Each structure stands twice: as structure tokens, then as C-alpha cells.
Structure 1
Amino acid sequence: MAGNWSILRLSLPPTNWEAPSFTRAAQFRVGATFVLFLFAACSNLALLVSVWRGQRLASHLRPLMLSLASADLMMTFVVMPLDAVWNMTVQWYGGDALCKLLCFLKLFAMHASAFILVVISLDRQHAILHPLDALSAHSRNRRMLLLAWTLSILLASPQLFIFRTIRVDSVDFTQCASHGSFSRRWQETVYNMFHFTTLYVVPLLVMSCCYSRILLHIHQQHLRDKAGESPLRRSGTDIIPKARMKTLKMTVVIVLSFVVCWTPYYLLGIWYWFQPDMLRITPEYVHHALFVFGNLNTCCDPIIYGFYTPSFRADLAACCRWVRSDADTSSQYIDRMSTREGPHSREHEPQPSTNNQTNNAVILSAC
């Protein structure tokens, strides 16, 4: 998967190809990516620390949320900076080894983010459909997470062989691209469609199947309770606990944010793979805006988690209080130092006026 079709591929013959430039639309993309990077880095790091230290979150759910935050951080620190810097420099200056490595890490981060959502969906399905099997949830989730990370590495590994640096001597331009790695156009299309399937179609189908089965189970349970088949028996298999239902709602919203954010970008990618001339038809800002909108998904996960998890909000509030108290302590320390140094400085220097003393104290306090 390429993040910017006009830059990452040299699909036209070098004799007819024109080097891209840092356009106004690309400048907007870089600015928006930088803002998303700052927010995603802070929020996902806070989420990672909160889940790691949290005591209210169930033990079998903690590895899932830690993996989700880790995948989002990989998207934040690999995909976003790579995309922003690449759009600014336009051509590639990192060499062949870095070209292969970063293209691999980019696809690895995107696969990991999608597959971990699949693992979370499978965990919620098992928790709702088989509530009495909670003891095996911890080991089961660890196995599924290991499989998700392993598959992400394997599926991203072809990037190490497909992408390389290519130089166009006629325009003195060097790019990291997949040009020349496929002997036929249809081979490149098949490769891209394969990753579109593994990144989007398969995760979407599995997640849709999981939540459809959950909704069907809840509906059937509601019908049984309404019909009065088991009015006296109220065990864990009959009524879904509020905490479990709250977690279910949270995971549904997280999955929906993934679908909403990435669907337009992937649909545009399909259009490009089958009709490359679409780059001349659609405005450039549309391509950039849809990729930025897809990256917005990285910022949504901590927001959704914070909305459904009071402990995360409490951790953020405690962190803000700690920062505020630390700032107040620093200010008081500066005030004490200015008070101590005042008499000593007057022994060797002419005594300033009262207004100057006041101004100096204000400056020291501000620093």
C-alpha cells in the first residue's frame, strides 16, 4: 500500500514522467499530519501508560489494549513522520536500505493495527457467547495477539524486496518506488489488491461477523426473557453484565471508527489501481485529504477508550494536576532564589530603585 500514489510510484516511463513538486495541497497534508502526530503521540502514550498501570481493567483485556495502543504508536511514529517528510522533500534522500525498511515498517504498522482490532472483536464475541469460559481468555488472547503480530511481519516482508531507490537521470530525481519490480501491470494490481484484502476486506468481514453474532445472541436472549422462558434463572448466561456491555460498546465504536476513517481512502486506492489516469481527473487535495482522514483513526482510539473508561480520565486528570503542581513548585523555587539573592547582590552593586526591584521579581517569576 502506498500512501501517496503520485510520489511513491514511478508508473510512467521515465522519458514522459515529470517530477512531482511540493504543492499547496501537499503543504496542507504536511500541516494536518503534524497536528495529528502531536495529538496521537500524546494521547496514545497516555493510553499506554494508563492501561499498563491501571487496576480496574480486566487482566485479559489489558494485553489487547496495550497492543492496540502500541500499534497506534507505530502508526504515529512511523507512518505519519514518513509521510510528512516524504511530501516535504518530494524525492528520496534516505538511500536504498532505509527505503526498504521504512516501507516494510509502514505496511507492518497498518497490518498490526487492523489485525489487533480483529483480535479484540473475537475476544468480545467469545466473552458474550461463552461467558462461563472466562478463565481461558487470558491465554487465548495472548495466542491470538502473537498470531496477529506474526502475520503482520510476514505480510509486510515483501516490501523489503519490492521497493528500492530509482533514479531518473533526465530530471535528476531519485525516488523510493516499486517501479520495475513487476514485469506486468496486472501483477502490481494483484499485489495491491492482495494487501487491500488483508488490510481491509478480511478484517472488516471478520469483525462484521463477530458483532453480527453478538447482536443476534443479544436479540435472541431478549426474546427469551420477554417470552418468560427463564424469568427465575438469572445467571451470567442470561443477562450480560453492565461492565461487559460497556466494553462491547467501546469495541464496536473503535471498529466503526476504523471503517469510517479508512474506507474512503481504500476506495480511492482501488480506483487508482484499475485506472491510474484518475490522478488527472480528481483534484490533488482529495487524495491528500482522504489519507489525512484515514490517519485520524489513530487519534480516535484513545478518545473512545477515554470516553468509556473512567480510570483513564482519572489518570489524565492526575497527570494534569501533577504538571500544574510541578509548575507551581518551580515558580515558588524561583521566587525563593530571587529573595535569597537579593541582599547579596546589593552588597556589590548599586541599589536599584523600587520600581526596578519589582520589575526584576516579575521577570524572574515569569522565567
Structure 2
Amino acid sequence: MSGNWSIVQLAPPPPNSSQFPPLSDWEAPSFTRAAQFRVGATALLFLFAAASNLALLASVWRGRGRRLASHLRPLILSLAAADLIMTFVAMPLDAAWNVTVQWYAGDALCKLLCFLKLFAMHASAFILVVISLDRQHAILHPLDALNAHQRNRRMLLLAWSLSLLLASPQLFIFRAIRADVADFIQCATHGSFSRRWQETVYNMFHFITLYVVPLLVMSCCYSRILLHIHLQHRRNTAGESYLRRSGTDIIPKARMKTLKMTLVIVLSFVVCWTPYYLLGVWYWFQPAVLRATPEYVHHFLFVFGNLNTCCDPVIYGFYTPSFRADLAACCRRRRRRGETRDAAVPSPDRLGPHSGEHQAQHATNNQEGD
């Protein structure tokens, strides 16, 4: 999909948009090879993200993941839920829209799906912020663990509420637009902004709330954590006494392991989405760059951003033995069911050397009798 870049999508431009050439020079977008690559890659990511995030959700909700600390479980469940919304809304929408090129789902679904897509993107970013704040408090104030559960619940409620609020304008600015001359329908923002700078301000606002603010907060949290660990290490080497679980650990091993896991999850978010957002900002201020940049670059960057929904359960599984144990138990159950089904169907060898002939003769007699 090429044309009108927004923080939410790369959608084909409406032919009567003032940002693009006149209708006589405008050509309807097509399902190009680059778009086909995007659809294929998105389909693979969808399958992996759906399976892995559902497995993570099941493990934390009903499996061995229930052993997590009570204040950590809601964080992981919320992160998996946000990734699943991205998986089941954003990915199928993007793939189908690239195949059809224009919009066939009507005005109501245009508004709803664009709203849900931005809602999921905000939720993923804000929940990572909540996780970072939780880790900061756990490391800097280890004796205040009793209030962690209620504090995290309040922060998660705020994160989901802000996501709903910030995504709600999508319900008003997106709509299905028909270009009668070109016989082309598109879900776009055309006509919602009287000036181009207004749309640029809108996109920049979401860029700041989706990427800049979360990145600054997360960077601040982990910088304070690393500084705290460094100071603790210096005190340890200087021989100063302080509270710790063992004689060699500055921070309890379980807490340090969780810290490493959340830090890697945050880094995956930054690595996956930074190129896409930077290209978007470049386009908002220099629209000609979209035509100068090869089409496959746009598609690749968006697919690379969606890779983030697959990274979270993989990282969680790498750092959490309980999740790996649940997956292994699930595989063993499926293998046993397969072996049970195979055992329930007798093979010709078990029925004797002439069983095949007897069965054939019996079937022939039945047919003759009928």
C-alpha cells in the first residue's frame, strides 16, 4: 500500500486528495510484488504471533505461569492481550487491505478497525511503560512489595483507559470515500482536515504518544535501575553493609532475571518500531520522499514492526522455565493422543495374515447382499 502515510497505516491515497496529482494523472494502486511479499510475511507472523501469545496467555492464566508473583501476572497478561489485539485486528486488516487495495468493508468497519488498530498500538506501548515503572519500583524500593499489586492494577487501568481515549479520534476522522470518476473506494482521512499541517500535527501527536513518550519513560526507568545497580556494586566493593538476600547477590536472582527479561522486551519494541516511525516522520515533513523510496522498503519496515508481537512471548519463554514446561507438557499430551488414536485403529498385522482377504470378502458379500 502506498501513498497517504499516517501513524496508523500506509493506505492508498484517495484520488481527489490535494496532496497528490490531479485525477487525470492519478493511477489506482495495484497488488504489486512488494505488496504480495508483505501479505505473505504478515500471514506467517500472524500464525506465529497467534499461537505463541495464546500459549503465553494460557500458561500465565491457567498453567505453571500462575506461580508468578501476583503483581507480575497482570502485567504479562495485559501485554499478551495487547499483542493478541494487534495480531487479530491489525495483521488481518493489513493483509486483506493490501490484497483488495481499495476498501470494501463499508464506513462503519472503516472507523472501527482503524480505531482498534491504533488502540492496540497504544496499549502495547503503554503496558511496556507500566512494566518499566514496576521494575524501577521493585529495584529501587524492594521493601515496598506489599503495595505493588494495587499499584500495578491502577497503572494498567490508566494505560488501557488512555489507549481508548487517544484512539477515539479515529472514529471521527476516518471514513469510506468514493471517487466516482475512478470507481475507487478508500478508507482514509481525506476531508477531515482543512489544511495539511493539521493532519501533520495529528500524526505527530500520535507519534509522540506512541513512541517518544514511552521511549523516554522507559529509558529513564532503566537508566535509574542501572545507576542504582552500579552504586550498589560500588558500595559492595567498598565494604559497606546493606540489605540483600545472600552474601554475594546485590539484587536477588529472581528479581534480576525478571529485570533482564523486561529490558529485552523493551529493547525489542524499540528496535522493531524505530525504523517505521522515523520513515513516517520523514514523510510527514517531506511527502516526496515516499515516491523516492522503493515500495518494498515501506512494506518491509511495517512487517518488521509487526515482528514485535512475536518477540514478546519468545523472550518471555526464554527467561521463564514454567512457560517452556507448559509448552513441553502440551506437546506430550498431543503426542499421547496421537498414539492413542493409532492404537485404537487395528492394523492388518494385528488381525492376522489373512485379515485383509477376510475383510475384502466380507465387504464383497455385503455388497452382493444389498
Identity of counterpart residues, as a percentage?
77
1:333, distance to aligned residue in structure 2 (A): 1.8
1:235, distance to aligned residue in structure 2 (A): 3.2
2:40 aligns with 31
Report the aligned-residue RMSD. Answer: 2.2
* Letter matched to residue 8 of structure 2: A
Which of 72, 80, 84 is the equivalent residue of 1:73? 84
2:56 aligns with 47
Helix, strand or coil at the partner of 1:174:
strand
Task: State yes or no: 1:100 paired with 2:111.
Answer: yes
Q: Deviations over 1:74-124 (max 9, x none)?
A: 010000000000000000000000000000000000000000000000000
Which of 337, 343, 347 is the equivalent residue of 2:362? 347
Which of 238, 242, 251 is the equivalent residue of 1:240? 251
2:4 aligns with none
Helix, strand or coil at the partner of 2:185:
strand
1:365 aligns with none
* Letter matched to residue 225 of structure 2: I
| Matched length | 349
Q: Deviations over 1:41-93 (max 9, x none)?
A: 00000000011122331111000000000000001000000000000000000
1:350, distance to aligned residue in structure 2 (A): 6.1
Q: Summarize the Cα distance change of 1:99–1:106 in structure 2 as closer, same or farther, 3 Å threshold.
A: same
* Bigger mean CA offset, 37-46 vs 338-347: 338-347
Task: State yes or no: 1:198 paired with 2:209.
Answer: yes
Which of 119, 143, 147 is the equivalent residue of 2:130? 119
Q: Which runs of 4+ in 1 moved over 6 A?
A: none
Unmatched runs of 5 consecutive residues or more in structure 1? 352-367
1:319 aligns with 330
* Letter matched to residue 110 of structure 1: M
* Letter matched to residue 278 of structure 2: L
Q: Deviations over 1:18-58 (max 9, x none)?
A: 21111000000000000000000000000000111223311
> What TM-score do you get using the length of structure 2 for normalisation?
0.90
On the 8 A contact 1:14/1:170 being kept in 2, the answer is no
Q: Summarize the Cα distance change of 1:130–1:334 in structure 2 as closer, same or farther, 3 Å threshold.
A: same
On the 8 A contact 1:2/1:8 being kept in 2, the answer is no
Unmatched runs of 5 consecutive residues or more in structure 2? 1-6
1:307 aligns with 318
Helix, strand or coil at the partner of 2:186:
strand
2:176 aligns with 165
On the 8 A contact 1:79/1:106 being kept in 2, the answer is yes
> What TM-score do you get using the length of structure 1 for normalisation?
0.90
Task: State yes or no: 1:253 paired with 2:280.
Answer: no
2:3 aligns with none
Task: State yes or no: 1:21 paired with 2:30.
Answer: yes
Q: Deviations over 1:1-24 (max 9, x none)?
A: 232144589542662432111100
Q: Summarize the Cα distance change of 1:97–1:222 in structure 2 as closer, same or farther, 3 Å threshold.
A: same
Q: Deviations over 1:278-297 (max 9, x none)?
A: 12100000000000000000
Task: State yes or no: 1:3 paired with 2:9.
Answer: yes
On the 8 A contact 2:14/2:190 being kept in 1, the answer is no
Question: In the aligned structure 1, how far is the partner of 2:346 from the partner of 2:280?
Answer: 59
1:86 aligns with 97
Helix, strand or coil at the partner of 1:175:
strand
Alignment of 1:259-278 (within 5 A): 259-278=270-289
